[in-house]
Amino acid sequence: MRVLAIQSTGDQTSVSVINNDDILTYSLDHERKDRPDWNKMLQNIGLGMSFTLNDIDLFAYANSTGSYTATRSVASYLKGISVALNQPLIAISANNIDELSADSIAKLALDQFKQSDYDKSCFDPDEANPIYASDPQYKKINE
């Protein structure tokens, strides 16, 4: 079983792959407005050498409360890949989600997938959308 997970809080991003019994993780601190090069980060954990995206059985991302924009970007990136490869995508939510790294996200996703008896239909990428931690408060232009 191979699981690929990404976690981003806006100024820190980590990627992780569970490759059978091995877990490889790479983390990067960056400016909040700079999106890291995920392909380069994935290469740092073995993409193209020890696995390809076609080898991944399950994709996951952290539904982070630290940066909704970072979470949307990660979700869109993984949603595109999982739809193209016809693989499941899980959005992981937890009270301490911003404290978890991608390896923890990958483990939680694998546990959820096992609990479903590996039923891919339970984790349709079209349903794996980021959610707000609370209702956003919009300010009118004239206020």
Burial label for 8, CB within 10 Å (0-12, 13-18, 19+), is: buried
Q: According to the model, what pLDDT value does residue 69 have? A: 78
Q: According to the model, what pLDDT value does residue 57 have? A: 96
Confirm if 56 and 2 have CB atoms less than 8 A apart.
Answer: yes
* Digit-coded pLDDT (tens) for 103-142: 999 999 999 999 999 999 999 998 888 876 655 555 556 6
Confirm if 34 and 96 have CB atoms less than 8 A apart.
Answer: no
Confirm if 100 and 94 have CB atoms less than 8 A apart.
Answer: yes
Nearest to 86 by CA among 117, 54, 62: 54
Q: According to the model, what pLDDT value does residue 9 have? A: 79
With a cut of 70, which residues of the chain have pLDDT below it? 32, 132-143
